Amino acid sequence: MANLDNEFLDHALAVARRAADAAEAVVARYYRAPIDVETKSDESPVTIADRECEQAILAVLRGEFPDHAYYGEEYGRSGAGRLLWLIDPIDGTKSFVRRYPMFSTQIALMVDDALVVGVSSAMQYGECAWARRGGGAWINGARVDIGPQRALSAAQISTGNIRSLAADRRRWSALGSVIRDCNRIRGYGDFLHYHLLASGAVDAVIESDLNILDIAALTVIGREAGAVMTDLAGQEIGLQTASMLAARPNLHAELLSRLG
């Protein structure tokens, strides 16, 4: 990975936060207003708000980093090089169009396949989380961390979309044993359970159906808060990642041994 100094990372984070603010200005115009909803080829919804948010984010980022590469949910990949911005303008469009605030803007920077900057902005919910490599994790300006280790019997676990996990008989049975043995199971989903993990309110997150744009920024935030973030097989988070196992270190090891 490129040897990027903290000054550059701080600057990149500041620009990413400005880009998230620009997206929020778009969201504020459209949220709870009448809006047409289209269906993409993968059966997911998309609106003019998604597209305008991504355009607003790209305008800010490209204004500072014209030579970087970009990969967005709505406009795909552009540019080339070692520094790649990952953008999901409205992660949770299904929530957005149903008019409840469980959606967010996700912006991350990847350098040589390593995630180094992340912003998770959910201002209609009332939270913005951010982090850069080596700089800690922050929510609404307060530094957060996962806190002390916790046994599975005392753990609160949140699941997201687990459709493909449910179709895997072995993993589905293993998840059942985890639910039996943990303290509490919830399904906060989307950005929220990762924010809760980073602040120590949730102890583990399990998801089997996602893509890198959903979780790139949240991976940086979770790691800076002290969580271990891999896919369900224990592999490093990368562009092809389609699942997540995020947890306190001791719980991650135990959950991976059961679910991996």
Q: What is the pLDDT of residues 236-257, one digit of tens each?
A: 999 999 999 999 999 999 999 9
Which residue has tokens 């002290």?
A: 226
12-16, 93-97, 98-102 — which one is most confidently predicted on average? 12-16
CA atoms 32, 212, 135, 14: torsion sign: negative
Question: Mean pLDDT in the chain?
Answer: 95
3-class SS of residue 235 = coil
User: Whose CA is closest to 260, among 160, 165, 162?
Assistant: 165
How much of the chain exceeds pLDDT 70, in percent?
99
Q: Where are the domains of the chain?
A: 6-135, 152-259
pTM confidence score: 0.96
- Give residue 4's pLDDT: 77
Please, are residues 251 and 203 in contact by the beta-carbon 8 Å criterion? yes
User: How confident is the model at residue 36, as a pLDDT?
Assistant: 83
User: Count of alpha carbons within 13 Å of 3, Cβ hemisphere only?
Assistant: 0
Bigger pLDDT: 253 or 260? 253
| Per-residue pLDDT, 3 | 60
Q: What is the pLDDT of residue 42?
A: 79
Whether CATH 3.40.50.300 fits 152-259: no
Please tell me the CATH superfamily of domain 6-135, with its number: Fructose-1,6-Bisphosphatase, subunit A, domain 1 (3.30.540.10)
Residues recorded for the chain: 260
Give the model's pLDDT for residue 2: 52
Write out pLDDT tens, residues 22-68: 999 999 999 988 888 888 877 788 889 999 999 999 999 999 999 99
β-pair partners for 245: 206, 230
